[in-house]
Amino acid sequence: MNAPLQGHTASNPKTTEALLSVDHVSLEYRTPERVVRATHQVSFEIDPADRFVLLGPSGCGKSTLLKSIAGFIKPCEGEIRLLGQKVEQPGPDRIVVFQEFDQLPPWKTVKQNVMFPLLASKTLKRREAEERALYYLEKVGLTAFADAYPHTLSGGMKARVAIARALAMQPKILLMDEPFAALDALTRRKMQEELLLLWEEVRFTLLFVTHSIEEALVVGNRILLLSPHPGRVRAEIHSHQYDLHSLGGVAFQASARRIHRLLFDEAPEAETELGFADIRIAY
Ligand code: ADP
Ligand code: MG
């Protein structure tokens, strides 16, 4: 089924304009030898302050979709709109945090790293940029490390710098591509918790990509399930009832298993048996 999933059910009627709308977007890579279709007619909408997760197996086109929303790759079909404006190129209203934290230039201090995009994009003058950098470094608990260099930081701390740097630009939407995948399991859990606390405080809009079902349930309030390559929408799930405290709980484990079945098409259950409060099945 390729009809757009609006993400809003009768019990949750849509009242505001979507912040981001992705409408029947297909993405392809063209090489001289062949064309690789990364996603096929993917549709979804993100509202302000959503923690929207794209979940799907490796190679299903999550990163490609994120890059397209960031404005780096043009859809071959469909369109992407941010507050009604068609996305055609990168812009400071969409900031990406990637998985590799070695995206931080090592010759700049933590504070200079956070200030850099603000200065390079001429968003702020030096004084204001410094103030804003310190404000967001405080939010991620790194005030004491403002003058440290990246190589002296742990993986988790580098992740926090990358998040502070992105939030300091005050984008309309923060795009995160498997941002914690390279971290050890305990640090990863800690970062998920910190991200949720930060969201409670700042209420930014987040689009978060992961291939981990657990991470999707913890981080997201809505999860879009993508099929294996090429990515098509399988379902959209409301998951706001879960957080880190739900990990290991019976309901959480049952949801994780159901998502697994939806993703991999194993023994599909009747829609009524799925047990999610709000679910749209796309096939
Ligand atoms: P995911 O992030 O979900 O793991 P990607 O978006 O990275 O998936 O990739 C989607 C598909 O597009 C994969 O089949 C991948 O091999 C292919 N792909 C990704 N980047 C390129 C590229 N630069 N050139 C050709 N094919 C690519
Ligand atoms: Mg990827």
Query: CB–CB of 25/39 below 8 Å?
Result: yes
Copy the structure tokens of residue 48. 């302000």
Q: Which atom of ligand 1 is nearest to the CA of 27?
A: 12
The string of pLDDT tens digits covering residues 166-210 is 999 999 999 999 999 988 999 999 999 999 999 999 999 999 999
Tokens of 266: 């194993």
Ligand 1 pocket by Cβ (under 6 Å) = 29, 36, 38, 56, 58-64, 229
pLDDT reported for residue 96? 93
Task: Say how far apart CA 20 and CA 213 lie, in whole Å.
Answer: 23
Average pLDDT value for residue range 2-17: 51
Pick the closest to residue 237 from 260, 203, 206 (CA basis). Answer: 260
Q: DSSP 3-state assignment of 51?
A: strand
CA of 81 to the centre of ligand 1 (A): 22
C-beta of residue 136 within 8 angstroms of C-beta of residue 70:
no
CA of 15 to the centre of ligand 2 (A): 32
pLDDT at 3 over 60: no
* Percentage, residues of the chain above pLDDT 90: 77
- Which residue type does 61 have? G
- Give the residue, 244 or 147, on which the prediction is more confident: 147
Angle among Cα 67, 69, 71 to the nearest 5 degrees reads: 70
Nearest residue to 123 via CA among 171, 73, 64? 171
| Chain segment 207-258, per-residue pLDDT in tens | 999 999 999 999 999 999 999 989 999 999 998 888 888 888 898 999 999 9
Cα separation of 190 and 192, whole Å?
5
- DSSP bridge pairs for 280: 236
Residue 272 exposure: Cα atoms within 13 Å on the Cβ side:
0
Proportion of the chain in helix, strand, coil states, percent, rounded to 5: 35, 25, 40
What's the CA-to-centroid distance between 114 and ligand 2, angstroms? 24
Mean pLDDT of 32-56: 96
The answer to whether residue 276 scores a pLDDT higher than 90 is: no
**Ligand in closest contact with the CA of 65:** 1
**In the predicted structure, residue 54 carries a pLDDT above the cut 70:** yes
Using most ligand atoms within 8 A of CB, pick from 29, 30, 33 the residue to mutate for ligand 1: 29
The pLDDT of residue 68: 98
Q: What are 77-127's pLDDT values in tens digits?
A: 999 999 999 999 999 999 999 877 567 899 999 999 999 999 999 999 999
Atom 13, ligand 1: residue with shortest CA distance: 59
Q: What is the DSSP string of 140-175?
A: TT-GGGTTS-GGGS-HHHHHHHHHHHHHHT--SEEE
Q: Which residues of 259-272 are buried (b: 16+ CB within 10 A; e: fewer)?
A: beebbeeeeeeeee
pLDDT of 198 = 93
H helix or E strand, kind and range, residue 207: strand 206-210
Minimum CA distance residue for ligand 1 atom 15: 59
Instruction: Count the residues in the chain.
Output: 283
Percent of the chain scored above 70 by pLDDT?
A: 87
Give nearest CA residue, ligand 1 atom 11: 38
